[in-house]
Amino acid sequence: MSIPGQAAADALVARLGVPVDPELLVLALTHRSFAYENGGLPTNERLEFLGDSVLGVIVTDRLYRDHPDLPEGDLAKMRAATVSQKALSEVAREIDLGPCILLGKGETSTGGADKDSILCDSFEAVLGAIYITHGIETAREVVERLVGPHLVAAARSGVALDWKTSLQEATASRSMGVPVYTCVGEGPDHARTFTATVTVDGTAYGTGVGSAKKHAEQAAAAEAYEAITGSDGSEPTVS
């Protein structure tokens, strides 16, 4: 199977800076919606699982070496900010990954090629393909080049946010209670979407959507953190 828009795929490989096994690249770009509509083809989800782990190891190693004086909690926040759905979808847009992803008709019609969740998952799958093709050191070079700027941004930001942890710290400092998350999954297995809502002391402060529960909860926590702290650090406001 070849990739529709082969020229776009070739340009993607050029932006990645390393060749990728062609069959693995196709697999990395095969979203479950496309696989479902084409007779149950293999999807990119196993490569995504692998790429997520590879990315986590590389980012953790970089943070550990670059910040010898930071405690584990701060390193965890910086890692979460760097490998978040939002950050990785931005990286995917920078390399113009969206047009290369194989999507079903439904996802294509609803702008799936520019959805944060799909871009994030597909980028991780591509990293998985690079790892299998070349090994950890080449994968590290690609991650350093593409994701490195986000590591720097996380280090420089005041709150290098793991949104769930930061929300919990914000509510604790205001004696508001512990954030409680509820998450509902909707849609068929090949196009599952999760919606999370976070409440504090019975009041809903944030809602988030993602292709995985963890992404939805992080998005909800981000919205709640902004509502509770305010952009100027003011007391919570609820819409």
In angstroms, the CA 77 to CA 1 distance is 40
Binding-site annotation, residues for Mg(2+): 48, 121, 124
Question: Could you identify the residue written with the tokens 């776009």?
Answer: 8
Please list the rounded mean pLDDT of every run of 10 residues in the chain (239 residues).
Answer: 65 92 94 91 96 95 90 83 87 93 91 92 97 97 91 60 80 93 85 90 92 85 87 39
User: Tens digits of per-residue pLDDT, 191-211?
Assistant: 678 999 999 999 999 999 887
pLDDT at 190: 65
pLDDT at 5: 60
Count how many Cα atoms sit within 13 Å of the Cα of residue 27 in the half-sphere of its side chain: 20
Catalytic residue among 23, 61, 72, 124: 124
Amino acid identity of residue 28, one-letter, is A
Catalytic (active site) residue 124:
yes
In contact, 63 and 78? CB cutoff 8 Å = yes
Catalytic residue among 52, 107, 217, 223: 52
Catalytic (active site) residue 235:
no
Neighbours of 180 (CB within 10 A): 12
The reported pTM is 0.70
pLDDT at 25: 94
pLDDT at 198: 97
Binding-site annotation, residues: 48, 121, 124
In angstroms, the CA 80 to CA 57 distance is 12
